[in-house]
Amino acid sequence: MSVNLLDYDAEGMLALMAQFGEKPFRGKQLMKWVHQRGESDFAAMTDIAKSFREKLQAGAMVTAPAMLAEQVASDGTHKWLLDVGVGNGVETVFIPEDDRGTLCVSSQVGCALECTFCSTARQGFNRNLSTAEIIGQLWWANQRLSHEAARIGSAQGGVQNADARIVSNVVMMGMGEPLANYENVVRALRLMLDDNAYGLSRRRVTLSTSGLVPAMDRLRDDCPVALAVSLHASNDRLRDEIVPINKKYPIKELLAACNRYLDKAPRDFVTFEYIMLEGINDQPEHARELLEIAKQVSCKFNLIPFNPFPNSGYNRSSRDAILRFRDVLAEGGQVVTVRKTRGDDIDAACGQLAGQVKDRTRRTARQSQIQTVHFHRGEAED
């Protein structure tokens, strides 16, 4: 039996050290090697006693999912396709901005929820990702970005101008419903926050949910991080239709859960994501209904222009409709932003992550062999 160290948060690591007959601090040392230095070869972990390294070699491993492909969009967005088993891939997206670098992490292969506007939903549900497969996305992103920074640095005569090129923020907004894979996601969140691993602040780790009310309550107690909720509709009739989990947890219950969550959350507001679907939910009267919702919970709105995919049956709202909608919310005293679409030339935008394994010949676990494909606007992908 061989255990994968990427599956263990601090608590699990303590128990594992006991099983190995080692002192607790060895677990912290190992976490630093694995997560901060990205080391997977026990022989290289020089401050760990040789006898323990031998035990690790025999009974443990550090294995992130193999990387199948890396794409870089003209706006600097990166997309990685990771192998999670026969014919399956999950996608992770890195979005560089001026002052931060945000990694969008997937939690499941496919998704069991049937939101009508989402391409991941079209695939149906395949399986939950393990903690190693979730944290492995951050592990890989750090490796690839530091590899790139080193390369750019040397090309520029050693000048490193790459501050936005590290993962400073994580959003659980990739494929899947994170709260439907609760245990594995929480272990991965704890690693993101752990000073011996990635050391991100709770405010910089955001979990997005379609509104699984009981799991929101659990998360508040187990590992409160910033919360985003995929609201997408301003009344139950509409939400029942486009976010069908609403039939189980209608808006009133969802808002109550948000308020309970805010008691312990690192931020004092919930972000409501609201997709802009032409002629469906984008009229001023919908915005006015949202103002009523906003009276019941401290929130910010993030309007997401719909990102099309084949046979979706929806269109993106016009720029004018989005701005009008935004203005109604803003004039009603709400904080509202319109999400910039990033990485659309590599299908890396929200709701477009499909994770198909397009070309298995690219399969490799060896960093030096990963093929990076750079895209520029107007170029076709395939």
For binding to ligand SAH (CB under 6 A), which residues are involved? Answer: 115, 117-118, 173, 177, 208-210, 230, 273, 275, 304, 306-307, 350-351
Q: What's the closest the beta carbon of residue 31 comes to ligand SAH, in angstroms? A: 27
Q: What's the closest the beta carbon of residue 134 comes to ligand SAH, in angstroms? A: 13
Minimum CB distance to ligand SAH smaller for 67 or for 228: 228
Task: Identify each DSSP E strand in the chain by its residue range.
Answer: 3-4, 60-61, 67-72, 78-83, 89-96, 101-104, 108-110, 125-128, 169-172, 205-209, 226-230, 270-276, 299-305, 336-338, 372-374
Q: What's the closest the beta carbon of residue 210 comes to ligand SAH, in angstroms? A: 4
Q: What's the closest the beta carbon of residue 45 comes to ligand SAH, in angstroms? A: 36
Contacts of 264 (CB under 8 A, 6+ apart): 220, 221, 224
Which of the following is catalytic: 22, 70, 91, 273? Answer: 91
Contacts of 327 (CB under 8 A, 6+ apart): none
Minimum CB distance to ligand SAH smaller for 70 or for 273: 273
Contacts of 149 (CB under 8 A, 6+ apart): 160, 162, 165, 166
Cα–Cα distance for residue pair 84/64, rounded to 1 Å = 10
CA dist 227 to 96, 132, 270, Å? 21, 23, 6
Minimum CB distance to ligand SAH smaller for 22 or for 177: 177
First-residue to last-residue Cα distance in the chain: 41
Written as one letter, the residue type at 355 is G
Minimum CB distance to ligand SAH smaller for 71 or for 119: 119
Q: Is 91 a catalytic residue?
A: yes
Q: What's the closest the beta carbon of residue 173 comes to ligand SAH, in angstroms? A: 4
Q: What's the closest the beta carbon of residue 123 comes to ligand SAH, in angstroms? A: 12
Which of the following is catalytic: 104, 115, 299, 350? Answer: 350
- Give the CB-nearest residue to ligand SAH: 351
Please, what's the b/e burial string for 274-291 (b: 16 or more CB within 10 A of its CB; e: otherwise)? bbbbeebbbbeebbebbb
Minimum CB distance to ligand SAH smaller for 62 or for 189: 189
Minimum CB distance to ligand SAH smaller for 101 or for 351: 351
Written as one letter, the residue type at 42 is F
Q: Are 128 and 183 in contact (CB under 8 A)?
A: no
Positions marked active-site:
91, 350
